[in-house]
Amino acid sequence: MKELIAASLKFQAGKVRVLDQYLLPHQEVWHTCEDVASMQNLINNLQVRGAPLIGLAATLLVAYLAEQGANKQALGEAINALEATRPTAVNLKHCMDTLRQALRQTQYVAAIVHRAEQLFEEDVTLCQRIGEHGVALVDEGDNILTHCNTGALATAGVGTALGVIYTAAQQLSHLHVWVDETRPLLQGGRLTAYELARWQIPYTVLCDNMAAALMAAGKVDKVFVGADRIAANGDFANKVGTYNLAVLAHYHDIPFYVVAPRTTFDATCAHGADIEIEQRSHTEVTGVSGSFGECQWAPENTPVFNPAFDVTPASLVTAWVFDSGIYHEPNFATI
């Protein structure tokens, strides 16, 4: 397989290497991944995260295993095991389905490697096209609120929702980004802030429950968020807390945009109610841990409700931004 390099994922010198996003922004540690169990752990622990990137990381590992001589049965088992790690994000399923098709070929090793390279390079192109379309929705001086992390750390390219902001910042001045810290693992406060600082785009971090006050004060012009799965009717799953923002934006008459590549669209899923929502560990809510250390604040044995995602109905969406264009109605026939 040829060399492939992204902000948080590499195939270099014959090895799959991933940036540990759990340790950012204080430590930049790269892990070499050589087996399925290691990749499963990295994905489940959110060391590898972002719907597009999860799919690509798993894809590169399967291609690596194919080049290392794994047989068809072993590769099929690897594909199944990796797909099961994160049930909500559909990008992973799309990637694994693509590899299953390649595995049916007579020259299956070459086919898997070829498709892995294609999927990686396709994501770079999809992100670029998303930015080119989405920039039309951004105006000079906008204060944009975003949730979770949707930048280059989450994709092979420049990102989805954050990629639109990055693209706009190259053409416009005086943009400012309100960054939801995004509990419980603070992907906004740790990762989005990290990327915006590197890109020198002005930003301010806020707690998730402060968005309403900002909107009431007239300090938010638009909301841009990503997605982990978009149903056929336009409902979508994203990091928990996104539905809150959609309701608030609707009440305050603020445009609310969903930004994603075509690989996040699931035509087989009719409605948001059909999306399986991953439940995370109670420890993510009863305390906090990361490169900064650990702290437990809740009493022992505290019951916890901790869905990783929530579902926002299409009725609250102003427009969907895909690599194929901007859709103001959930009519996605051209995707």
Closest C-alpha to 184, from 288, 292, 46:
288
DSSP string for residues in 64-90: HHHHTT--HHHHHHHHHHHHTT-SS-H
The C-alpha torsion from 88 through 94 and 97 to 102, rounded to 10°, is -150
The amino acid present at 51, given as its one-letter code, is A
User: Cβ(145)–Cβ(221) under 8 Å?
Assistant: no
What is the phi-psi region of residue 143: left when phi exceeds 0, alpha when psi lies from -120 to 50, beta otherwise? Answer: beta
Could you give the count of Cα atoms lying within 13 Å of 17 in the half-sphere of its Cβ? Answer: 14
Backbone angles phi, psi at 4, to 5 degrees: -130, 130
Q: How far apart are CA 29 and CA 21, in angstroms?
A: 8
**Locus of tokens 């399925």:** 36
Burial state string for 195-214 with b = 16 or more CB within 10 A and e = fewer than 16: bbeebebebebbebeebeeb
Taking each helix axis as running N to C, give the angle between helix 36-44 and helix 51-67, from 0 to 180 degrees, rounded to the nearest 10. 170
Write down the catalytic residue from 228, 235, 310, 323. Answer: 228
Return all residues near 32 (Cβ < 8 A) that are at least 6 apart: 15, 16, 17
Known catalytic residue at 228: yes
Counting every residue written for the chain, the total comes to: 335
Q: Which residues contact 265 (CB under 8 A, 6 or more apart)?
A: 90, 230, 322, 332, 335
Only one residue has tokens 């080119």, namely 132
Helical ranges in 3-50 per DSSP H: 36-44
Catalogue the active-site residues: 228
